[in-house]
């Protein structure tokens, strides 16, 4: 097996641009952004497999893929994801599928002695009423948000597997927990998407249909933080080259806004002038979820995409891909 070239300088690990990088979930929102960024950074041997080519829930298939391809570095960006409604409705599927995916990928990586792996989780791992902004040390200190606790438990198990592999096998594996993500390639499904793409689609369609109002789930008061997926892609490579610690690390922007403020921003971007109304019979979810990104900033990295610019960029992508998205 080829070994990744690593140069040690002030705790920095430079991944050789000829190293073979396997991105699990390379067609998804996160994985595709990481693929684009690694290509731009000069990596020449990036590999992936579509879900039709490799079902990551198929343990034997994942082991065969890893043994055949022998990646030097693994980035696990694969997951079954969705918004509040999808998580709450299909909680058993979210738990089972995500546990199988990450266990298979990590066990197979251990099987071929992969020394460097990045596991990407979600900020939903933290307690519903965690002190804000949320520090990494808040993990497992309180109850989870019940609408997505199954998904959260799966991701917590992934962090534990990273830590256990470091301890048992001496791996240099790491995990990172991004805040709410958005950007080109997002899921704009009317029922199963996250809040930002869901708002973009619904408000765009209201503008096209000349609807007088758009109804938004919940009170509009919960506060959320949003990170452009291209910033996460940059952070992922930065962490692979600058971070080596068993504790997970937060990836975010360090500021948030209310769902109502987000909806207003989306309406302004889309050019919708109708009324935004709140359906308070729908769940709000966690009241606030702002990550403390002090540790990441101390390493020397910070997000650069402003939310308003990022929303405009995402809306442009949505318009360019509207015909394909209508079929989903």
Does position 8 have pLDDT exceeding 70, yes or no?
A: no
- Cis omega before residue 60 (within 30°)? no
Chain segment 237-268, per-residue pLDDT in tens: 999 999 999 999 999 999 999 999 999 999 99
The average pLDDT across 293-306 equals 97
Q: Report how far residue 113's alpha carbon sits from residue 98's, in angstroms, rounded to the nearest whole number.
A: 22
**Residue 30, annotated as binding a ligand:** yes
When pLDDT is cut at 50, 70 and 90, the band that residue 308 belongs to is very high
The average pLDDT across 58-87 equals 90
- For residue 151, indicate whether it is catalytic: yes
- Do β-strands 45-47 and 73-76 pair in parallel, antiparallel, or remain unpaired? unpaired
pLDDT for the residue 182: 96
Does position 1 have pLDDT exceeding 60, yes or no?
A: no
Tell me the CA distances in angstroms from 24 to 32, 49, 74, 138, 285, one per residue in order.
10, 7, 8, 28, 29
The DSSP output letter for 58 is -
**Residue 120, annotated as binding a ligand:** yes
List the beta bridge partners of residue 9.
12
Q: Which two tokens stand for residue 46?
A: 């990036």
Q: Report how far residue 162's alpha carbon sits from residue 175's, in angstroms, rounded to the nearest whole number.
A: 7
Q: Residue 250's closest CA among 286, 302, 285, 287?
A: 302
CA 166, 173, 165, 108 torsion: positive or negative? negative
Chain segment 309-319, per-residue pLDDT in tens: 999 999 999 99
Does position 9 have pLDDT exceeding 70, yes or no?
A: no
* CB contact at 8 A, 263 and 220: yes
| Chain mean position to CA 111 | 26
Token pair 């990045």 in the structure block, residue: 118
Q: Report how far residue 222's alpha carbon sits from residue 218's, in angstroms, rounded to the nearest whole number.
A: 9
The average pLDDT across 55-82 equals 95
Of the residues 126, 151, 182, 243, only one is catalytic, namely 151
When pLDDT is cut at 50, 70 and 90, the band that residue 286 belongs to is confident
* CB contact at 8 A, 119 and 172: no
pLDDT for the residue 5: 39
286 Cβ contact partners less than 8 Å away, ≥ 6 residues apart: 124, 128, 145, 222
The average pLDDT across 223-230 equals 97
Report angle CA 137, 141, 144 to the nearest 5 degrees.
115
Strands (E) in 12-94, as ranges, are 12-13, 20-24, 45-47, 73-76
**Residue 301, annotated as binding a ligand:** no
pLDDT for the residue 87: 64
More confident residue, 236 or 82: 236
Does position 128 have pLDDT exceeding 80, yes or no?
A: yes
Does position 59 have pLDDT exceeding 90, yes or no?
A: yes
Chain segment 163-172, per-residue pLDDT in tens: 999 999 999 9
Give percent of the chain with pLDDT exceeding 90: 83
Task: Please classify residue 324 by burial: count the beta carbons closer than 10 Å to its beta carbon, then call 0-12 exposed, 13-18 middle and 19+ buried.
Answer: exposed
Does position 144 have pLDDT exceeding 50, yes or no?
A: yes
Token pair 């689609």 in the structure block, residue: 201
**Residue 127, annotated as binding a ligand:** no
Chain segment 109-124, per-residue pLDDT in tens: 999 999 999 999 999 9
When pLDDT is cut at 50, 70 and 90, the band that residue 3 belongs to is very low
* CB contact at 8 A, 175 and 123: no
The average pLDDT across 170-177 equals 97
Does position 194 have pLDDT exceeding 70, yes or no?
A: yes
When pLDDT is cut at 50, 70 and 90, the band that residue 287 belongs to is confident
pLDDT for the residue 327: 64
Of the ranges 106-110, 145-149, 196-200, the best mean pLDDT one: 106-110
CATH of the structural domain 8-186+225-254+289-305, one choice from 3.40.50.720, 3.30.540.10, 3.90.950.20, 3.50.50.60: 3.40.50.720
**Mean predicted lDDT score pLDDT of the chain:** 92
**Residue 185, annotated as binding a ligand:** no
pTM for the full predicted model: 0.92
Domain ranges of the chain: 8-186+225-254+289-305
276 Cβ contact partners less than 8 Å away, ≥ 6 residues apart: 213, 214, 216, 260, 263, 264, 267
């Amino acid at each position: 097996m080829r070994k990744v070239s690593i140069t040690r300088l002030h705790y920095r690990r430079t991944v050789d641009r000829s190293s073979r990088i396997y991105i699990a979930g390379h067609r998804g929102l996160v994985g595709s952004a990481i693929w684009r960024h690694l290509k731009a950074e000069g990596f020449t041997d990036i590999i992936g497999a579509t879900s039709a080519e490799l079902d990551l829930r198929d343990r034997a298939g994942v082991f065969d893929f890893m043994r055949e391809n022998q990646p030097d570095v693994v980035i696990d960006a694969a997951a079954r994801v969705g918004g509040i409604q999808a998580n709450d409705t299909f909680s058993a599927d979210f738990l089972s599928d995500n546990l199988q995916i990450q266990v298979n990928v990590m066990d197979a990586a251990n099987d071929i002695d992969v020394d460097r792996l990045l596991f990407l989780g979600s900020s939903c791992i933290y307690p519903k009423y965690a002190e804000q902004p949320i520090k990494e040390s808040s993990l497992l200190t309180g109850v989870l948000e019940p609408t997505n606790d199954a998904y959260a438990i799966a991701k917590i198990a992934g962090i534990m597997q990273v830590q256990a592999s470091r301890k048992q096998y001496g791996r240099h594996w790491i995990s990172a927990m991004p805040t709410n993500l958005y950007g080109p390639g997002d899921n704009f499904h009317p029922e199963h998407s996250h809040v930002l793409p869901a708002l973009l689609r619904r408000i765009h369609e209201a503008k096209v249909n000349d609807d007088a109002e758009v109804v938004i789930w919940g009170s509009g008061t919960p506060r959320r933080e949003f990170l452009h997926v291209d910033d996460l892609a940059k952070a992922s490579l930065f962490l692979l080259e600058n971070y080596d610690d068993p504790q997970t690390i937060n990836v975010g922007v360090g500021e948030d806004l209310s769902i109502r403020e987000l909806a207003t921003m989306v309406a302004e971007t889309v050019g919708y002038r109708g009324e935004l109304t709140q359906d308070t019979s729908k769940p709000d979810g966690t009241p606030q979820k702002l990550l403390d990104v002090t540790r990441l900033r101390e390493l020397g990295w910070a997000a650069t995409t402003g939310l308003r610019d990022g929303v405009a960029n995402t809306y442009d992508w949505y318009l360019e891909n509207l015909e394909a998205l209508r079929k989903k």
